[in-house]
Structure 1
Amino acid sequence: MNEQYEAQLQMRTNYRFFKESLFIRDIVRDRWLYVILLPGILYFIIFKYVPMFGLLMAFEDYKPHLGFMNSPWAGLKHFERFFSEPQFWILFRNTILLAIYNLVFFFPLPIVLALMLNEVRIGLFKRFAQTLLYLPHFISWVVAVGIFYVLFTTEGGVVNELIQKIGMEKIPFMLSEDWFRPMIISQSIWKEAGWGTIIFLAALSGVDLQLYEAARMDGAGRWRQLWHITLPAIRSTIVILFILRLGSFLDTGFEHIFLMLNSMNREVGEVFDTFVYMKGLTQGQYSYSAAVGMFKSLVGLVLVLGSNWIAKKFGEEGVY
């Protein structure tokens, strides 16, 4: 029995050594790929994982001169304060509404644009259209909001001048609470929808062209090919991007919202991102703002885990 046990132990040791040898050999063989991967790994470690240590601030009465380790412990005090404030429901309502509008109106648009571009057969026109769609992405939000201000302001704005010429009263687009959310969504669509088509166009390029030829031979038109071939081919990509989108569901974009805020629309425009800035950086309430930011992150985590679980139940691959 002892000899048999020693033989099995020796076999396991040899097998483990063999696996480790293969692993080391693979690393040596692909060493340059790992070197290329290294900057990305360092980026996530330095800027994503290391800052997570700062979440400790949400459970402390953080004092900069005392540091993380010596600041007095506060427990859940800041979370209780945040959830008990009347302003919480205003922030929650504004953030949720903008997030839902983004999900309903913005998320499907890059898919539609990618499907339309995929149907274009004139190469020169397709490249020209793609360039026009991509360009706004490279404009900063400061410039983008400035362009909309020039177009829609009541003081000499092009749109309001046209409205006045047709006999109607000027509309305060940049000051009105009713127009704040439509302006935010339209700006997001103009700036980012074209850039969002890149991933979907890449997925569409991998569709087997023989499927379209077979469908045409069977008498399927463009719509039938789109419904039965194109959309199923990119379904997994749509699901994965939708799950990732839910992870940043409450991230409505600080810079964008902040530039559009003013005293006239603050009631509908104040969101978690701008609230964190006001409390944390302008008023020095670091622990309180860290608690608000952590709440946002936890909501995103729950949405990702839940949507990924649902996707798996429906037979999709999901994110993990």
Structure 2
Amino acid sequence: MNDHEKMLKIVIQNLEHELPAVHRSTIEQVARVILGEDVEKSMGSLAVALLQSNVSVGHILSALLRCEWLSVQHLIETTDPGNIKQQVKIFSDCVDHFNVLQTAIIDAADQRWQGVLDKEVKLRVVAELRRRWRETGEVHLHNYFDEIPVSARVDFKEYNKGYIWVSMTRDLVTMFAASPDLRTAYITSPDRAHSLIIRGVNKSADRIMLEIAGVEVSLRERRRDVRVKLTRQLPITLTHRDQVIEASIVDISCTGVGVKFPDEGISLLHNEKVGLQFQLGSELMKGDEAVICWSQEIHGEHRVGINFKPKTIRRETVYRFIFVQEQAIIGRLRKLETPSWMKDPIELRDPDE
């Protein structure tokens, strides 16, 4: 047995002592990672396997760190002290492997925690809404079509194990037709903090069956002003300190604009002040005290939300522009067809009839 095999055995023994609930095959794979070896399983799979033992994340990471230190000591003792390059490479490989595993464990633990949290939130929101549905006899669903809210109030029929049955109405058809996938809608919690994600299942007689697919934090539902998505983006010029930034407006409300940047290198942070200038119809809109209210990556593009300061933008011009955009959107909304899953099933006739 060579030095490496001896060290592998020592690390395995230590891990088995520290993590007795973890399966032997997982222990062996983790030990090899600690020693800088490539293994068959992905780091994500190893992380999930470790967490399935129901040992705390802190205890797992502490155990791995102790074994990593044993590995480092072993490297120091067994590599040629005169060959610095070799020592650095071996040590670097060992640490890199360990860091990837450590990151995977933290990410997996975070996802697990978020999943538990989402489940708890979903149960609470569903319980609150079920009480409201029974009291009012109504379910209020909503959607967005080019950022314009589209809603439907329908009669509550029944709830059972994550499924809701509601009445079929024309508004409900339009509301689902407004969804990109023709099946998704939302129900906002009583405190407006969360929204249930609803999926359409099928139509039976005069009832629609809906599935509660998940829960998410409500963001669009908290907007104070109507926002419209532009079919043709408008150019906008921003000034930030001494920098002039050319960008595009993707949506607009009476109090702000959503902007995307063509250059990945541009970054504006939350609460930073900017100047802006854009053309709205025949009028030039200018503001010197606009504020970045959010900044994030959306579909690989860097976008920001910009809030106008009061009295710096001619609101009546924006109102008129939004009204025209709304009318065009409503016109398109009325032309949407009924989703196929909401149509009556086609009766198959016997060819001999």
TM-score by length of 1: 0.21
Larger Rg: 2
Structure with greater helix share of residues: 1
TM-score by length of 2: 0.20
